[in-house]
Structure 1
Amino acid sequence: MKYGDKLPSVRELCHRFGVGRTAVRDAITTLKGKGLVTVRRGEGAFVNRFDASDLLNDLWLVNREEIREVLQVRKILEPGVAEAAAENRNATDLSELKERLIEMESADNESAWEADYRFHMAIVKATRNQVLTRLMETVSNATQNVMCEFHRSILENPRQTLEVSGQHRRIYEAIQAADGSSARRLMLEHLMFVDHVVRDRLCGQD
């Protein structure tokens, strides 16, 4: 297939490959996380333009150890990003963060990871630091893949889903209050939780 082509429907893919709808949806979610397709609500999935730089990002997640390394990178970078966002955000940033928070809280299971990613990138934008923004964009595909893994892990656990929602809301409130130290602490606590959930999932697959 070439750039712009529409993928067959979920039903057709199920029939073609002899698999269930869940398997097809998971595959499309993975392709979406890798930036290979765009899903348009009510229209379907479409092939994205190939970018060789995406291959470099995909190499980050060749094995489980590299997933753990991406989580480590997030724990190093994102608490500082949250602190900087609390110190530098403006009214426009807060409006976008609130919009992303609401989007995340109302997202369905298939789109939850995307809303999560957009919320975190809105925090990066709120730092008003172009170097930080470019740095986070460099690892964006790897980050999206880890978020996909995380949301698959909590898919059938309402308690964890509610906990994650509360974590994000508290991060937003700290940024809104211009409380940099709390934003840093809350982001680290959130990422420690993500790390714990993903590691448990990986161990369960051994």
Structure 2
Amino acid sequence: MTDTSISAPAARRVPRKTEAELSSLIESVRGAIRAAGAVPPERDLAAGLGVKRHQLRKALKVMRETGEIEPHAGRAETAPWHELAHATNPLEVIELRSVLEPALARLAALRASPLQVDQIIAAVEDADESDYGGADLRFHKAVADGARNGLASEFYRLLRAVGTDSRLRLGLPSDVCPKRRAERDAEHRAIANAIAARDPETAEREMRRHLANVQAQVMDRLKV
């Protein structure tokens, strides 16, 4: 039987320039959406950000795939989470994540296809250190998809989009200390290993432990 567990990487992966540029552009697009409350027409958005439209489309594609924006035929795209983000706060978001995600991790351990398990593992191994938030989202999204519950997966995307907006709206710092980054990676690795081992109890427990640490971090930052 092939061992799919993940060992800690010996050295940091150096992100490619294109990955860093795309991450930076996505952050700029998020800022434009927050300012407007909707995704402006592609032509206007590209002009406002000073980028080519084909570059912008790559960023929009990633944001669609992660549920941050959704297409509406015949009119500009809107951010479905915009109003929700103004009605909640980071603590409410993490409370709901703490209810939902341990169950998704359990289901992923039971249901994820071999390909989905590989994607969960890859999200840990290939985490882009220049994009802490994006790497975190890709891992948790892979776990949610591995649960193979379409409604839960879509709801999770909406929840994370609301969480991203509400954290930025309240001015929470985006920098993460190296110690917490290493802890986060180890927690993700433990969850991924449990899912790969088809161990639902451990997957659920490790996800719950991970989110408790995230909640403590959010509470500490809100005290600043």
Structure 1 residues 131 and 31 mapped into 2: Cα distance closer, same or farther (>3 Å)? same
Q: Superposition pairs for residues 9-88 of structure 1, below 5 Å?
A: 28=28, 30-31=30-31, 50-52=76-78, 54=79, 56-62=80-86, 66-88=89-111
C-alpha displacement at 1:136, in angstroms?
1.6
Give the conservation status (yes or no) of the 8 Å contact 1:153–1:198. no
Q: Superposition pairs for residues 185-196 of structure 1, below 5 Å?
A: 185-196=205-216
SS at match of 1:79: helix
Q: Residue type matched to 2:111 in 1? A: N
How far, CA to CA, are the matches of 1:175 and 1:101 in structure 2?
Answer: 13
Give the conservation status (yes or no) of the 8 Å contact 1:33–1:145. no
| Identity between Structure 1 and Structure 2 (%) | 21
Structure 1 residues 142 and 91 mapped into 2: Cα distance closer, same or farther (>3 Å)? same
Equivalence for 1:168: 188
Give the conservation status (yes or no) of the 8 Å contact 2:86–2:166. no
SS at match of 1:183: helix
How far, CA to CA, are the matches of 2:129 and 2:168 in structure 1?
Answer: 14
Give the conservation status (yes or no) of the 8 Å contact 2:25–2:56. no
Give the conservation status (yes or no) of the 8 Å contact 2:90–2:163. no
Structure 2 residue 120 is matched with structure 1 residue 93: no
C-alpha displacement at 1:156, in angstroms?
4.7
* Structure 1 spans left out of the alignment, 5+ residues: 1-23
Give the conservation status (yes or no) of the 8 Å contact 1:153–1:197. no
Task: Identify the range of structure 1 (26-35 vs 188-197) with the bigger mean alpha-carbon deviation.
Answer: 26-35
Q: Superposition pairs for residues 177-188 of structure 1, below 5 Å?
A: 177-188=197-208
Structure 1 residues 115 and 29 mapped into 2: Cα distance closer, same or farther (>3 Å)? farther
C-alpha displacement at 1:145, in angstroms?
3.7
Q: Residue type matched to 1:92 in 2? A: L
SS at match of 1:139: helix
Structure 2 residue 202 is matched with structure 1 residue 202: no
C-alpha displacement at 1:28, in angstroms?
2.6
Structure 1 residues 165 and 33 mapped into 2: Cα distance closer, same or farther (>3 Å)? farther
Structure 1 residues 123 and 32 mapped into 2: Cα distance closer, same or farther (>3 Å)? farther
Equivalence for 1:7: none
* Deviations 1:54-107 (CA, angstroms, capped at 9, x unpaired): 1x41233327x5221111110110000000000111210111112211222x42
Q: Residue type matched to 2:126 in 1? A: E
If the length of structure 2 is used for normalisation, what is the TM-score?
0.64
C-alpha displacement at 1:157, in angstroms?
1.7
How far, CA to CA, are the matches of 1:119 and 1:165 in structure 2?
Answer: 10
Structure 2 residue 126 is matched with structure 1 residue 103: yes
| Pairing partner for 1:137 from 157, 162, 173 | 157
Q: Superposition pairs for residues 121-136 of structure 1, below 5 Å?
A: 121-136=141-156
Q: CA RMSD in A?
A: 3.4
Structure 1 residues 163 and 143 mapped into 2: Cα distance closer, same or farther (>3 Å)? same
How far, CA to CA, are the matches of 1:143 and 1:182 in structure 2?
Answer: 26
Aligned length in residues: 171
Give the conservation status (yes or no) of the 8 Å contact 1:100–1:119. yes
How far, CA to CA, are the matches of 2:33 and 2:220 in structure 1?
Answer: 21
How far, CA to CA, are the matches of 1:124 and 1:69 in structure 2?
Answer: 19
* Deviations 1:12-70 (CA, angstroms, capped at 9, x unpaired): xxxxxxxxxxxx99963853896958999xx9767857423x1x41233327x522111
